[in-house]
Amino acid sequence: MEIYLVRHGETGGNVAKRHQAEHTSITKLGREQAKQAALKIKEINPTHLLTSNLVRAVETAGIIGEVCGMVPETTGNFIELARPNHIYGRHHHSIQSLWYYALWYFGRDTGESDGGESYLSLRRRIRLAQKEIESYPSDARLVIVSHSVFINMFVAHLCSGRHLTPWRAMKIFSGMLKMPNGHITKISFNPEASKKTCAWEKAE
């Protein structure tokens, strides 16, 4: 099975480098990025199109669906990491954000009581997302529109649900910041893989 994880098109929050709420829409450039991604995706003849149910992802998936002649199916398993309410609107590099990242990684004061999602909760959701993918036919070419944090963490935890080491976490965080809108990440799932090996693999 081939899986193509697509980051949504650009939003105003991306431009401002601020944590954004679920209702954020994509910009004019974001729509163009979605169209360019759609043209690439059309070449692989996708069989299924899924999307996070956040507005920016749904809008991106809608453009992909128009180009590829498909109707997107929304799912909550591929949404962006839910931040605590007090973080939304703050700059990614603000003191409050940096403190939040540290507490989140170490599993302290995750903000779940304020609408956030802990690292453990995210890892559990990643496993649910994997289960959802595994339910599709083995010859499927599945396109999933999602978000930078989720995509990078999903790939990082393809074969292990364990807590990332500090060094690995820093590399993943760097990848999140560098991932362009409209970027396509290809992974694969082999349902016939031995139980002693990982059935998931990221394409180079």
| Contact by Cβ (8 Å): 6, 70 | no
Give the domain range for residue 30.
Answer: 2-202
Alpha carbon dihedral 137, 6, 46, 140, in 10-degree steps, equals -10
pLDDT, tens digit (0-9, with 9 covering 90-100), for 19-71: 998 899 999 999 999 999 999 999 999 999 999 999 999 999 999 999 999 99
Tokens of 190: 């082999």
pLDDT band at 194 (very low <50, low <70, confident <90, very high): confident
* pLDDT, position 163: 93
Number of domains forming the structure of the chain: 1
Asked if residue 110 has pLDDT above 80, the reply is no
User: CA 93, CA 196: separation in Å to the nearest integer?
Assistant: 41
What's the order of all strands across the beta sheet hosting 73-75? 73-75, 48-52, 141-146, 2-7, 184-189, 200-202
pLDDT > 70 fraction of the chain, expressed in percent and rounded: 97
CATH number, domain containing residue 115? 3.40.50.1240
* pLDDT, position 160: 93
Supply angle C-alpha 154, 114, 144, rounded to 5. 25
Asked if residue 145 has pLDDT above 80, the reply is yes
Asked if residue 113 has pLDDT above 70, the reply is no
* pTM score of the predicted model: 0.95
* pLDDT, position 46: 98
Distances (CA, A) of 63 to 3, 23, 38, 111, 163: 18, 17, 7, 34, 36
* pLDDT, position 196: 85
* pLDDT, position 202: 94
DSSP 128-194: HHHHHHHTS-TT-EEEEEE-HHHHHHHHHTSS--SPPPHHHHHHHHHHHHHPPTT-EEEEEE-TTS-
What is the overall mean pLDDT for the chain? 94
